[in-house]
Amino acid sequence: MRVLVYHTDATGRYGASNTPRGARLSGALVTDRNGRFEVRTIRPAPYPGGTIPAHIHFVVSGRAEELQFEDDPLVKHGRTPRDADEPIFVRPVTTDSLGVQRVTVDLWSPT
What are 69-98's pLDDT values in tens digits?
999 999 976 555 555 556 888 899 999 999
**Superfamily per CATH, domain 2-102:** Aromatic compound dioxygenase (2.60.130.10)
Question: In whole angstroms, what is the distance from residue 26 CA to residue 33 CA?
Answer: 22
Answer for the pair 10, 45: CB distance below 8 angstroms, yes or no: yes
Residues 6+ apart with CB under 8 A from 39: 5, 27, 29, 56
3-state secondary structure 5-31: EEECCCCCCCCCCCCHHHCCEEEEEEC
Model confidence, pTM: 0.84
Angle CA(49)–CA(50)–CA(54) in degrees, nearest 5?
115
The tens digit of pLDDT for each residue in 16-58 reads 887 778 899 999 999 888 888 899 999 999 999 888 899 999 9
